[in-house]
A and B are shown apart, each in its own frame.
Chain A
Amino acid sequence: MIQGLVQLFIFQALGELVSKFALPFIPGPVLGLVLLLAYLSVRGHVPAAIDLVGSGILQHLSLLFIPASVGVVLYLPVLQANAWAISAALVVSVVATVAVTAGLLRVLAKKESTHE
């Protein structure tokens, strides 16, 4: 378990370093993700130690954004004042996003299969 955790931390740290000194506009953990993805592609499989810890953390991913989300207490007044407009924007946006992504996927996949 420790082995997997250490490897994940190393990729996270490498990502932070690359972000700090080379690509400041991309968050460090995302660069760590890309580096790990490259490493997995080179290895050709997911090492058991990384799989154990990584999949374990991801299983409870939603636990990790509770501390930041509780900060909502600081925004309650402004959120309440804009509740309806925000809800409308979120609903319209998610419906449109699902529709555009799936719709385009369906059209493109159909085109591709008729070419074959």
Chain B
Amino acid sequence: MSNEFQTHLPPISEIWVYLSGSPLLALVLTLSAYLLGLTLYERSQRNPLANPVLIAVVVVTLSINLLDMPYAKYFEGAQFVHFLLGTATVSLAIPIYKGFASLKGRMGVLLLSLVAGGITSVFTAVGMARWLGVDASLVRGLVAKSVTAPIAMGIAERVQASPTLTAIFAVSTGILGAILGRYVLDALRVTQWWQRGFALGVAAHGIGTSRAFSVHPEAGAYASLGMGLHGIVGAVVIPQAVAWWF
């Protein structure tokens, strides 16, 4: 134990106290879990089941459990990542603007279908959940789940729903939509790429959009547009509708 290094190194517990007091630990944990998720997603040929968020959430959850770090403590560090959600929402204007360029006068048709799809999404989810006797505290989290997660979480705060539950339901919806979407579209014999893409964007936001892009660029462009428009319309309409319905 007369090793020279020993005298210079503080005990491991002291290093640990220092590290867990700084936001770096939570940041490194979040970013590396995301990178791991991204790598596994690419390795699986972008299988929607290997969703990077899902993988990252499982890894972070297990890690903070193992480290005995309470969620509030973790979030204190990870909030720097969380903050950029607002900036990302603003950035959604870019794909929407680019999508407008490829519209060719379809705006009316797209908006009508979007509103019908949005209403279907809220009523089927909340209706089913109530019918199956889901705990009332969870039902509100379902209201915005077809809207892209950054906007959905903003809506959640306005309808007294938990942003966390909303994010989880939004991510699950995206994954389900990316997996099931093509079967529904094939069964309905919807063959036009723009129609297939738009429906995926409306129902399954970002995850559906990335799925659409991997199938066909036109489907991807319309999926971004569907996701973006659903975000804007949802943010305006959903809080009003909830105030009236709940």
Q: Taking CB as reference atom, which chain B residue is nearest A25?
A: B239
Report how many A-B pairs have Cβ atoms within 8 Å: 320
* Interface contact B87-A9, CB-CB below 8 Å: yes
Q: A29-B154, A109-B195 are in contact. Are A57 and B88 (CB under 8 A)?
A: yes
How many whole Å from B94's CB to the nearest CB in chain A?
Answer: 5
A78 contacts which chain B residues (CB < 8 A)?
135, 137-138
Output the residue of B88, B97, B146, B189 with the most chain A CB within 10 A. Answer: B88
Q: How many residues of B contact A (CB 8 A)?
A: 108
A58 CA to B209 CA, complexed, in Å: 12
B43-63 at interface with A (beta carbon < 8 Å): 51-53, 56-57, 60-61
* Interface contact B192-A29, CB-CB below 8 Å: no
A70 CA to B179 CA, complexed, in Å: 23
Q: Mark A22-64, 1 if CB is under 8 A from B, else 0.
A: 0001111110111011001100001000110111011011111
Output the residue of A40, A65, A92 with the most chain B CB within 10 A. Answer: A65
**Chain A residues close to B by CB (< 8 Å):** 5, 8-9, 11-12, 15-16, 25-30, 32-34, 36-37, 40-41, 46, 50-51, 53-55, 57-58, 60-75, 78-79, 81-82, 84-86, 88-106, 108-109, 112
The 8 closest A-B pairs by CB, nearest first: A27-B154, A101-B117, A71-B164, A54-B91, A29-B89, A67-B78, A102-B199, A85-B132
